[in-house]
Structures are given as structure tokens and as C-alpha cells.
Structure 1
Amino acid sequence: MKLKHFYFASLCLALLSCNENTNTKNNIPEKNSSSNQFTTKDKTIEVYTTANNTNLRLTETDKLTFQPAEQPKETEISVFVNPDKTFQTFIGIGGAITDASAEVFAKLSADKQKEFLNAYYSKDNGIGYSLLRTSIHSSDFGSASHTYIKEGDSALTSFSIEHDMKYRIPMMKRAIETAGGKLLTYASPWSPPAFMKSNKSMLKGGTLLPKYYQSWATYYTKFIKAYEKEGMPIWGITIQNEPMATQTWESCIYSAEAERDFLKNYLGPTMETEGLGDKNIVIWDHNRDLITNRANVILSDPEASKYVWGTGFHWYETWTGGDPMFDNLKAVNEAFPDKNLLFTEGCNEKFDAEKYQYWPNAERYGNSMINDFNSGTVGWTDWNILLDQNGGPNHVANFCFAPIHADTTSGELIYTPSYYYIGHFSKFILPEAKRVSTAVSRSVLISTSFLNDDGKMVTVVMNKSDKTISYNLFVGQEKTMVEIPPHAMQTLLY
């Protein structure tokens, strides 16, 4: 009997320990302790609005107060926030500084450069970006392809980031300075050097040749060390941008098994050997459609999974004509709750200068961000932060939209609605915030909420309809009434 009691007690302790550990994972609710219980008592709700066919752009439009709540009616539209249920920890929102962005930035006047940097990275005068993505050598967004070594140098003795010192690194340094000295920065490769690939080209897909696995793994570590020597801490890397897309630009194909084996046999061990084991490694870095397959193959392998911080994803699965596959994110989060989800790239394709103010482009951002966060995503990274009046430069004419464009002939900056929709999140939700349980009673609205470390709750609400909507905001046992214009985004800060 004593042995049975001992076994039972040990099992209980083990289960208790397991519960304590899993409560901190991304998709497991955490109940706030009484010491930091959120309350609406004596709080004012600041309402910020951006709306189509108005001049409202992140404009403070109302100050509201909470009142005791009553049972809502089915005929009312309501947003329900439950502060007692929290989920993943937020790491930030930002965009990519590509060669293209840096080349355009260099053409701006000093005043416009300052305006631009403040617009993105200032917490007071801009939208407070806290994430930064860049490429390991070239992507399609830039004037030409380039690498950091001489062609054929598998020993990497010629490795140099001199190319990036002209435009990209100076811009990144100024962005970090404007952000207050810190930007969580990660990097992605679009293709290994041509000689390392099966098709002997950086473009149009191909695969990494096995005899160069070690050289390519070491290449990542040389990049990290070179950038950190320039004073730019690298938080992490993704293994390969869009590993299932054969593009006309820099691209490289990895099956799920190939990415798994490269990670566990070469990249992961090499990062540790080079003293970079603390850097975060992100797998997949492609669309939501095949994300479950990639996660299943890599994260189910303990020897590969131990090197993985999380799974990155893009939003371009809609190119097939379908809808965004948000449920796939939830499936990955449920299957692997100890790993993270990171949105690593999205932009509106097929640049057309007539559509700078095209509102559905902004609504694509709002719809994705709210649904991605509600699916467990911890951070969200836009693509190019700046492009020119042609949607480039892009060396294969893959011209796209950015939230801000620069007309290099006039020297003026063009702010698109997407910039403001992103700002409804990035300006108010701070790193280390916890996502809070939020639901809506009508499909015309979508919403998400985060609780910042300073005790401020941020609820973002998007109206996709053609009508002005009055809705209840329920927070715990209290409520207020809010009005949102047609095709609008609101941030409620309280």
C-alpha cells in the first residue's frame, strides 16, 4: 500500500508540474492571478478610428466610460472580452528592410528620410514598429542578385557583407536608433549561391546540393556574426524563404524531409558549434496551405524539433483562388503548443499606382492580422516597408505594394490605407502583451484583444460592412456602446 500511495503522489506531482508548464504555451489559456487581475473600474476608453471615405486616419474619435452590463439581446451586435483568459505572448509587429527599400530610402531628402523613419518606428509620432526582417544576401526586391562570397568559394574565405554596407545596413541602423535602440531582427535566405544548387542558378528554384550542406549551414553563422559586428543583434533566422515555390527570382526548393534533415544534421549543430545556439530558428516561411504538413514532419522529429523556435508563414495561398487558411494555423498550434507561430511575410501583389488608396488592400491586412493573432500567432511581419512609384525596384519585375511608397521624381511619400490599418495594432500592442479571449456576435465585425504589461487593454475591431454599426463592448461584467463607420478599423485602449 505504501508503494501505491507513493506512486499516486508522484503521479499527482508530475501532472501538476505538467499543467504548470503547459499553461505558458501559446494556445493554452492562462487565468490571471488576483495580484494582476484586470479591472475596468474608473477606466476611460480611448477610441481611435481609420475609415474609408473619411479623413479619419488613426484619429482619436471618442472617449467612453464603462457601465454595469446586462444580458445582451440577440438583436444587438456585441464584442465580448474576457480578461481572465489569456493566451500567447506577443513579440512585435514590423516589416522588412530589403535592398529595394534601402535603395529607395537613399534617394529621399534628409527631411523625408526622417519623416519616414518616424512614421514607422517612433512610438509617439509613428506606429511603433518593433520587428525587422531582412534577407541573407539578395531577394527579388533589389536592383540585382548578389551573394557575400565569390562564386565557387565553398570554403567561404571571401565572405563579406560589403554590398549591404552601402544602403541596407545604414538604413537598418537608423531604424533601430529611431525605435529606441532595439528592434527584434531576423533574416531569411531566398537562395544559396548558384554553384551550391542543382540548377546552377540563384533563380527559378533548384535544390541545395548535398555536398554543400555544411558550407551553406556555415554561411548563416557568418552572416549573423558579420551583422552583429556592425552593431545589429540578430534574434534569429528562417531556414528558407518559400521552400516550395519555384519563382522567376531567387528561390530554392526543400521538401519537408529535406528541410528537416538539413536542420537537424547541419544547420542546428553548426549554430551551436559556432556559439549561436541561442539564436531562434524558424521553419517553413511559406503559405498557410501546406504549413501543417511541414510542421508535422519537422516538429514530430525530436532531433530536428529541438532546434526549432517556431513556424513562419505567409498569406499568398489565395493565389489559387481560395480563402486564407487560418484554421491550419490553429491546427499547428494545437498539435505543437510548445512552438510559436510567426507571420513572416505578406504584401498586396500586382502594383498599380491607381490603387494607392484602394481600401480592400488595407482590409486584407486587418483580416489577416486579427485572424492570425486569434489563431495563436506571436508576431507579424509585413514585406517591404518602402517601395518606389513603380512598386520596386525589383530585378525580375515582380512589382508590389508597400504601406508607404516614395515618388522618387517628386520626393514625396505616399501613405496607403494599409499603413494605418497595421498601425491600429503596432502602435498600441506592446511586446510582452498577452492575447486576451475575444469574440463577436456578428460576422460583420472581427476583433482581437491584447493586455499590455502596463495594464492597458487593447481591443481592435474591424467593420467589413457597408454600414455604420453600433456595438456593445463587454469586458467582464461591464460594457460600453461604440459606433464604428463602414469599412473601418478601430482600436479601443482602456
Structure 2
Amino acid sequence: MNYNSFIYLCLSAALLTGAGCGKKGGDTPDPTPPVVVTPTGPSQVAFWLTNTDRTALFAKQKNVLNFGTTSNPYSTITLDTARTYQTMDGFGYALTGGSATVINRMSASSRADLLRELFATDSTWLGVSYLRLSIGASDLSDHVFTYDDVPGDVSLAQFSLAPDRTDLIPVLKQILAINPNIKIMGSPWTAPSWMKSNNSSKGGTLLPQYYDAYARYFVKYIQQMAAEGITIDAVTLQNEPLYGGNEPSMLMDAAQQTNFIKNNVGPAFAAAGIRTKIIAYDHNPDRTDFPLAVLGDATARAYAEGSAFHNYGGPLADALTQVHNAYPSKGVYFTEFWT
């Protein structure tokens, strides 16, 4: 597969509470343990393990693992350094509101140890290089909110990041102090309720008369996060736009998103000098017609950097390949896999 961009993000209620990346709907047996080769020097492989029986929860292993000639049950992977394919924007997780709350309530020393283990980029640590955030609340926040819950505030005079100043922003600043080059993607679960067809945080669609205001909502989010020293590398315009059953959530079909990108968000970003990437779709691989429709519009395609996928309800690799082959200059992102 030849992808321009591919991000592995694992969404969990708390970043390290035993949840890992796996198959939705059931666990699969652990693979045969790796063969341990008698070393002639320091271990060449750093190995973190989470077991389904919870005897190890994202724990760094002491095994000494080196490359050698000892046979093992795994396929041989040959790295051809002379041949390149896709570039990678990064690998990482979602930092949910719930995760931020749990992390921020740790002792200062434990929190520092955890964040260093996750985000430090020297060879002894994991070096997470990408984070996905919710723009406003997700269904893993402790309450529902957006950044402007004042009905009718079309000018967005009351827009405020205040709900995230208690936990999320402080944790992000600590992460950035460890790894200032980490990339961050933002994804909204809903627009403010007063902008929606059902005046509710759950379901409903964005009313056309608020397309412009909601585009400026993204602009304000990016600008105010930048004022906090937090650069938003990319945004998707709606988490799971074809499912309105989460609290919060919002529906946005391909035609609506195409219109929103080409007539509102794209021009608003351009007018404000914002270089944050606009990523389409952000839902399951069984509906490639959605990102293909957005990218099929020449004006929307000029603004959209690529499309994002979750790993439920369809063959992910096939979907990414199909969309990549149709638009090889556009990135494809893997943004969510929940266990």
C-alpha cells in the first residue's frame, strides 16, 4: 500500500487504564511470545506489552531482543532502505477529556513519569508522535460542552476554551514540553446545539444559516489553541458523520460536508492565513463513497488534504487503498480503533 499519510490513533476512555488497540467486539488470543535471542550487546528492541488477562498493562518488558539468525515462528520482514513509499505524519493515540482528567489527577511525579515514558523521543521511551483531540466534548468527556453554548452567539463573542483549561490544556502543555514536535489533530463530536436542526447535542444536522459561523468556530479554536502554544496540525470536520447516536454527535452527509468545505471552512482558513490541514470523512471504511464524493468536487478537493477512517464496519486496508488510488496526492489517515 502506498499512502501519503497514515496515523494510528487508539481511542480509549483513559490513556492507560488497560485499554489497548484491538478488534472491536472481542479480544483475540495473544500471539506466540517472541523468541528471545541471547544478546551480544544491549537490546535492539524496546517492547511494551498489554495482555488480555490484564497481567501486563502497557508495561515495558525486560526481555533482551536482538536481531540474529535464530529461527522463530514469524514471517521474515525485509527492510529495503533504497525504496520508499508513503510518508508518515505520526503514530499515537487519542487524548480524550477522560484521559486528561485521569492523568491530571495523578501525583506530579507519577504524571511526569507517565508522560515521559509515552512522549519522550530518546531511544528508551515510546516517542508518541501524534495525538487526536476532541474539539469540545466527546462521548468520553465527563460532561457535554462546546466552546460556545450561548444560543444565538453568531459572532462567537462568547467562544472560550475554558472547559478544557482544567485538565486537557495543562496536560497538553506538559506533553509539548517533553516533545514540542508532536502533531495534533482535532475532531468535533458536535457543533453547538443552537446551530443544529434539533437544538440538541445528540444527532441532528448543522443548519445552513450557521455554516459560516461554524467555520469561524474552527478558526477561533485553532487561533486560541495557538495562543496557548498548541499548534493544531489538522482537523476533521465531524467525528463519525454518519452516526448520530452518541452523546454528543452530529450528522453530516457527503454533500453537506463538501459544501461546508468548499464554501465555508476552506475560504475561512484561507482568509485567516490558517495552514491547518482539513481532513474529510472520519468514519468507517465501508462507506468510501463519502470521501470519494468530497474529493470528487474540485473546489473541495483543493482545500482538503485527505480523508480519515475508523476501523469498524469494513476492510480498512482495502478502503484506504481505494481512496488513495483514486486521489494519490491526498493523505489517508487511520484515526480511531476502540477496544
The answer to whether the superposition gives a TM-score over 0.5 is yes
Q: Percent identity?
A: 33
Shift of 1:25: 7.2
> Aligned Cα RMSD in Å?
2.6
Normalized per residue, the structure richer in strand is 1
Distance change in 2, residues 1:263/1:66 (3 Å): same
2:134–2:189 Cα contact (<8 Å) kept: yes
Superposition pairs for residues 163-178 of structure 1, below 5 Å?
Answer: 163-178=163-178
1:121–1:127 Cα contact (<8 Å) kept: yes
1:241 corresponds, among 239, 242, 250, to 239
2:3–2:332 Cα contact (<8 Å) kept: no
Distance change in 2, residues 1:60/1:48 (3 Å): farther
One-letter amino acid of the counterpart of residue 341, structure 1: V
Q: 2:117 maps to what in 1? A: 119
State the SS of the aligned residue for 2:201.
coil
Distance change in 2, residues 1:60/1:234 (3 Å): same
Q: Return the alpha-carbon distance in structure 1 between the equivalents of residues 188 and 213 of structure 2.
A: 14
1:343 corresponds, among 327, 334, 339, to 334
Shift of 1:98: 2.1
Greater shift, 160-169 or 124-133, is seen at 124-133
Shift of 1:258: 1.0
Shift of 1:66: 7.4
Q: Return the alpha-carbon distance in structure 1 between the equivalents of residues 47 and 155 of structure 2.
A: 55
Q: 1:132 maps to what in 2? A: 131
2:4–2:87 Cα contact (<8 Å) kept: yes
2:293 corresponds, among 290, 293, 297, to 297
State the SS of the aligned residue for 2:247.
coil
Q: 1:281 maps to what in 2? A: 278
One-letter amino acid of the counterpart of residue 61, structure 1: V
Q: 1:329 maps to what in 2? A: 320
One-letter amino acid of the counterpart of residue 312, structure 2: Y
2:117–2:125 Cα contact (<8 Å) kept: yes
Larger radius of gyration: 1
Shift of 1:300: 1.4
State the SS of the aligned residue for 1:285.
strand
State the SS of the aligned residue for 1:88.
coil
Q: 1:141 maps to what in 2? A: 140
One-letter amino acid of the counterpart of residue 303, structure 1: T
Greater shift, 122-131 or 303-312, is seen at 122-131
Q: Return the alpha-carbon distance in structure 2 between the equivalents of residues 315 and 209 of structure 1.
A: 29
Shift of 1:105: 1.7
Superposition pairs for residues 207-226 of structure 1, below 5 Å?
Answer: 207-226=205-224
1:46–1:60 Cα contact (<8 Å) kept: no
Q: 1:307 maps to what in 2? A: 303
Distance change in 2, residues 1:142/1:210 (3 Å): same
1:49–1:61 Cα contact (<8 Å) kept: no
CA distances 1:222-274 after superposition (whole Å, capped 9, x unpaired)? 01111101111111211111100112311111111111111001110111111
CA distances 1:171-202 after superposition (whole Å, capped 9, x unpaired)? 110011122x2221121111011111111101
2:4–2:88 Cα contact (<8 Å) kept: no
Shift of 1:141: 1.3
Distance change in 2, residues 1:325/1:208 (3 Å): same
2:262–2:299 Cα contact (<8 Å) kept: yes
2:3–2:324 Cα contact (<8 Å) kept: no
1:118–1:178 Cα contact (<8 Å) kept: yes
Superposition pairs for residues 82-481 of structure 1, below 5 Å?
Answer: 82-124=80-122, 125-149=124-148, 150-179=150-179, 181-203=180-202, 205-276=203-274, 278-290=275-287, 292-317=288-313, 324-348=315-339
State the SS of the aligned residue for 2:184.
strand
Distance change in 2, residues 1:211/1:174 (3 Å): same
State the SS of the aligned residue for 2:77.
strand
Shift of 1:110: 1.4
Q: TM-score, normalised by structure 1?
A: 0.55
1:237–1:279 Cα contact (<8 Å) kept: yes
2:285–2:316 Cα contact (<8 Å) kept: yes
Q: 2:4 maps to what in 1? A: 26
- Paired residues in the alignment total 293
Which structure 2 residue ranges, 5 or more long, are not aligned?
6-41
Q: Return the alpha-carbon distance in structure 1 between the equivalents of residues 65 and 138 of structure 2.
A: 44
One-letter amino acid of the counterpart of residue 133, structure 2: T
Q: TM-score, normalised by structure 2?
A: 0.79
Distance change in 2, residues 1:300/1:120 (3 Å): same
1:50–1:59 Cα contact (<8 Å) kept: no
Q: Return the alpha-carbon distance in structure 2 between the equivalents of residues 103 and 45 of structure 1.
A: 35
One-letter amino acid of the counterpart of residue 175, structure 1: I
Which structure 1 residue ranges, 5 or more long, are not aligned?
1-23, 28-43, 68-74, 318-322, 349-494
Distance change in 2, residues 1:324/1:157 (3 Å): same
1:148–1:160 Cα contact (<8 Å) kept: yes
Q: Return the alpha-carbon distance in structure 2 between the equivalents of residues 113 and 65 of structure 1.
A: 37
One-letter amino acid of the counterpart of residue 142, structure 1: S
One-letter amino acid of the counterpart of residue 161, structure 1: L
Shift of 1:142: 1.3
State the SS of the aligned residue for 1:306.
helix
Distance change in 2, residues 1:188/1:62 (3 Å): closer
1:94–1:131 Cα contact (<8 Å) kept: yes
1:45–1:64 Cα contact (<8 Å) kept: no
1:97–1:134 Cα contact (<8 Å) kept: yes
Distance change in 2, residues 1:248/1:233 (3 Å): closer
